[in-house]
A and B are shown apart, each in its own frame.
Chain A
Amino acid sequence: MTIQEIQQEIVDEFALFDEWMDKYEYIIELGKDLPLIDEKYKTDENLIKGCQSKVWLHAELKDGKIIFTADSDAIITKGIVGLVIRVFSNHTPQEIIDADLFFIDQIGLQEHLSPTRSNGLLSMLKQIRMYAVVFNSKVGS
């Protein structure tokens, strides 16, 4: 599936929920279920520190595609991080660079990207693009 298609799939899943409560419960379940990152990658180097919660992000290139793994100490953040990983992981650097991120807005979670939330999510998205740019230059060379 393309990044576009995965995002649309998530938007369709969330369309089932009328209430924020159901949405949050779903995100919390995602957060609980996903073993996102290998403990050995939970290093300070991979840490994106927000004022409110921490996010760890690890990236590696495999067969021309970037595999992202991530984690957070806060469960709602972790659930959203899980969705972001589902969208971006296992794609080529160029696909990630070209991607237009729309699903967070469409499922009504844009407040979690506000800088005042300071939960590390916004920095994580920047970091994902940064990895794509860096790996892209490697793939190209």
Chain B
Amino acid sequence: MEATTTYKLNVEEIRKDFPILHRQVNGKPLIYFDNGATSQKPQQVIDVINRYYQHENSNIHRGIHTLSQEATDAYEKARTTVQQFINAQHNHEIIFTSGTTGSINLVASSFGKKHIHAGDEIIISTMEHHSNIVPWQMLCEEKGAVLKIIPISEKGELLMDEFKKLLSPKTKLVAVTHVSNTLGTINPVKKIIKLAKAAGAFVLIDGAQAVPHTKVNVQELDCDFYAFSAHKMFGPTGVGILYGKEAILNELPPYQGGGDMIKTVTFEKTTYNELPHKFEAGTPNIVGGLGLAAAIDYMNNIGIENIEAYEHELLNYATQKIKKIEGAKIIGEAPNKASVLSFLVDGTHPTDIGMIIDKLGIAIRTGHHCTEPLMNRFNIPGTARASFAFYNTKEEIDTFILALERALKMLK
């Protein structure tokens, strides 16, 4: 996202679709800049959820009655919507999970069982979210494998030469984030995947922060796994996606056992269902899947290119404003960034800033953002983070800067 392109996007019209943006917090109009944590939901998504429970609720894949058939059709149609959204080759390569964390744990468990052995190496990076660290640590501990970490520059970019040095015949998996939730850095995942493949390793991309902001094409990326969450892309919580290549998923053992994931069960032997059901034990989050599809339709309607260009403009605008504040330091200055802005101000603690501007109706995130090793890398306790979505405006950023200045006056 280096160059700002033009966009067609009517933010005032878009804001009408998000009921929560019209409420007040602490007596002030809500300014929601915590989109990196979770995004707000448009009426179109809320309507789908309501309608499902009012008119369509039924269990899927197992009823002979009309309602069940309708629910099954809708759920499978949602799968196809996701498939098209990330351009997967097959719709059974789309596994519904509970979220990015659920997706990564599925791979750590099933892929780990099949492919990871003592002495093998898994490569992650310094800027990973805890959910792309801890499952691999647990797997390494269990199997006697070794976790290797790609270091980053002062600006918050992966050191690609160091990454190349880490790759070896021992490398079984490379698991990196597409976009850093703390720094905003957009990583060169295509290059990472190519290098990893050349070394004979599998690749998982954590796309939780990428999918809401930028077009993802899994076939073009050629990754083996891609994980993301609905709630960060204007859909409901509790549902997410694991994309995996058909051939690879077919070879993996199932994750959880239960209903829906079986072909036949006897007490002697159970045979497993085909993709994607093999990885979807139990009644899934049906309404979550429908809500995710509605969110994708909503984003497609606006156009991902428009979203990306508009958010880039917001990021630039806010970055320039923050830079003018005395003592402010931006954490994460990679040239290629998504709309995440982490900062610190000399002599103040991010928590204090967050608490004061909350009283002015502004929601930002403070703390370590579930990236403690990254905070240790920069030797900081945490950051204040504003993260923008396409329903945010420059006027909101102006109000945020005024609130920030007021907070700093109180704190310094």
Contacts and interface: CB of A to CB of B under 8 A. Distances in A.
Majority secondary structure of chain B interface residues (helix, strand, loop or mixed): mixed
B359 A52 contact: no
Interface residues of B, number: 16
Contacts of A28: 352, 410-411
B351 A52 contact: yes
Contacts of B354: 52
Interface stretch (A18-26, A35-43, A95-103): A18-26
Contact of A51 (B356, B367, B410, B411): B367
Nearest to B26: A20
Contacts, number: 40
Interface string B352-394: 1011100100000011100000000000011000000000000
Contacts of B348: 75
B194 interface: no
Given A20-B359, A28-B411, A76 B367 contact: no
A54 interface: yes
Interface string A72-85: 01111100000000
Interface of A: 20-21, 24-25, 28, 51-54, 73-77, 118-119
A56 to B, nearest CB: 14
A25 B410 CA distance: 6
Interface of B: 26, 348-349, 351-352, 354-356, 359, 366-368, 381-382, 410-411
A52 B366 contact: yes
Given A28-B410, A73-B381, A21 B349 contact: no
A77 B350 CA distance: 12
Contact of B352 (A21, A54, A76): A76
Contacts of A51: 367-368
B127 to A, nearest CB: 18
A87 to B, nearest CB: 21
Contacts of A52: 351, 354, 366-367, 382
Q: Which of the listed residues A20, A24, A53, A74 has the most CB atoms from chain B within 10 Å of its own CB?
A: A74
Contacts of A118: 367
B359 A24 contact: yes
Given A25-B410, A28-B411, A53 B359 contact: no
B410 A74 contact: no
Contact of A76 (B26, B351, B381): B351
